């Protein structure tokens, strides 16, 4: 079996999604024997996929995922102004290759990647754009009532007092058993982060995500981790194993969050997950738009923690409509099936309706 070509579809879902600049990329990786590997990525990956990476894959055996990944990663130039974009495109193709491998072998990906369990919890993501304390509490309660056992609050330029008040009201709304994550988007200086974390500890925050400003992130998170009992999570902006090593070794993080795509895909994530395990850390990839891609990896591994997911019907989510049979997300848990590979098939009518 040889890789033949790639079909890259760009989907535009219209005005509702415009504020997210959300055009979606859909990949179908074809072989000469008729099998198709599938994946998703940002629409902006199209040129890199078609012009830079596909020539490295065409005519080669899709089973050899490590060899193919190394060939693609070797194309990332030191002078490339968009390294993250290139690695994101690699990640998308890598996932398509693993989907193909699962189909060739007749094995679902969560088993092929490790086979630790058949289901994985998910948390409700997407509460952004200054909802305010009461708005966030109402949003969180809605999705807890729908079955989620964890919710994420995004800090969007609020001051420390409003952050604490938002978490207080959210905890009061959802009760003591629900996990609350707080994503800071690298907004705080290290000493400020420690002070705010101390004020949040009474509300049993599950993790503080990307809490420290980018310019002193590794030392700053290490300082914070040593001075709070709240778990520190980070890594979504990294695109290689070496930066993840530094965050784990010196940054004190206990949840590694490299993006499911800009990590380089499953081939890279398997190594990152092993590295995280050596530091007694869990993994929870960034990528709320792609829960169907993250779930097989997290279910496969013992330190897989929880999947980030935009709930069905919440902009900019499309995973619940893109497939003939979407992933099963019931009561905050994703249940993996027995179909080989990702176990998914694109809804061709949906593709036709929204394809540019």
Task: Report the alpha-carbon angle 218-69-277, nearest 5.
Answer: 40
Cα 125–chain centre separation: 11
CB contact set of 196 (below 8 Å; sequence gap of 6+): 160, 163, 164, 188
Task: Report the alpha-carbon angle 345-351-356, nearest 5.
Answer: 145
Task: State the pTM of this model.
Answer: 0.96
Give per-residue pLDDT as tens, 49-68: 999 999 999 999 999 999 99
The neighbouring-strand residues paired with 353 are none
pLDDT band at 7 (very low <50, low <70, confident <90, very high): very high
What pLDDT sits at residue 129?
A: 63
The strand pair at 3-12 and 231-234 is best described as unpaired
Per-domain residue ranges for the chain?
A: 3-106+349-354, 111-335
What pLDDT sits at residue 126?
A: 86
Q: Is the pLDDT of residue 128 over 80?
A: no
Percentage of the chain modeled with pLDDT above 70: 98
The strand pair at 333-335 and 328-330 is best described as antiparallel
Instruction: Report residue 250: phi and psi, to 5°.
Output: -115, -20
Cα–Cα distance list, 347 to 278, 323, 354 (Å): 40, 5, 11
Q: Is the pLDDT of residue 15 over 90?
A: no
The residue-averaged pLDDT of 70-90 equals 89
The verdict on domain 111-335 having CATH code 3.40.50.40 is no
Give per-residue pLDDT as tens, 240-289: 999 999 999 999 999 999 999 999 999 999 999 999 999 999 999 999 99
What pLDDT sits at residue 130?
A: 59
Cα 134–chain centre separation: 27
Strand, coil or helix: 17? helix
Q: Is the pLDDT of residue 17 over 90?
A: no
Q: For residues 159 and 170, what is the distance between their CA atoms, to the nearest angstrom?
A: 17
The residue-averaged pLDDT of 199-226 equals 97
Q: Which two tokens stand for residue 240?
A: 């290689």
The residue-averaged pLDDT of 98-118 equals 98
The CATH architecture annotation of domain 3-106+349-354 reads 2-Layer Sandwich (3.30)
């Amino acid at each position: 079996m040889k890789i033949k070509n790639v079909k890259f579809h760009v989907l535009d879902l219209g005005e509702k999604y415009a504020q997210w600049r959300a055009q979606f990329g859909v990949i179908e990786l074809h072989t000469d024997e008729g099998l198709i590997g599938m994946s998703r990525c940002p629409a902006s990956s199209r040129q890199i996929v078609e012009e830079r990476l596909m020539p490295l894959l065409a005519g080669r055996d899709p089973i050899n995922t490590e060899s193919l990944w190394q060939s693609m990663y070797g194309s990332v130039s030191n002078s490339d102004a968009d390294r993250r974009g290139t690695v994101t495109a690699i990640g998308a193709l890598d996932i398509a290759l693993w989907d193909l491998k699962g189909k060739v072998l007749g094995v679902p990906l969560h088993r092929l990647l490790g086979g630790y369990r058949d289901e994985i919890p998910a948390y409700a993501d997407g509460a952004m754009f200054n909802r305010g304390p009461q708005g966030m509490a109402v949003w969180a309660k809605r999705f807890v009532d729908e079955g989620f056992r964890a919710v994420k609050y995004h800090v969007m330029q609020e001051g420390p007092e409003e952050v604490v008040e938002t978490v207080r009201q959210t905890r009061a709304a959802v009760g003591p058993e629900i996990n609350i994550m707080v994503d800071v988007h690298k907004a705080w200086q290290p000493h400020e982060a420690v002070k705010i974390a101390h004020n949040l500890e009474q509300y049993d925050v599950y993790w503080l995500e990307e809490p420290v400003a980018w310019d002193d992130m590794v030392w700053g998170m290490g300082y914070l981790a040593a001075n709070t009992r709240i778990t520190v999570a980070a890594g979504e902006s990294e695109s290689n194993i070496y930066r993840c090593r530094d965050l784990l070794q010196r940054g004190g993080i206990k949840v590694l969050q490299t993006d499911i795509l800009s990590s380089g895909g499953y081939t890279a994530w398997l190594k990152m997950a092993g590295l995280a395990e050596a530091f007694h850390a869990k993994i929870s990839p960034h990528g709320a738009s792609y829960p169907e891609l993250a779930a097989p990896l997290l279910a496969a591994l013992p330190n897989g923690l929880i999947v980030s997911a935009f709930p069905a019907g919440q902009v900019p989510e499309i995973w619940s409509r893109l497939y003939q049979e979407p992933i099963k997300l019931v009561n905050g848990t994703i249940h993996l099936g027995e179909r080989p590979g990702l176990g998914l098939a694109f809804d061709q009518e949906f593709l036709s309706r929204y394809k540019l």
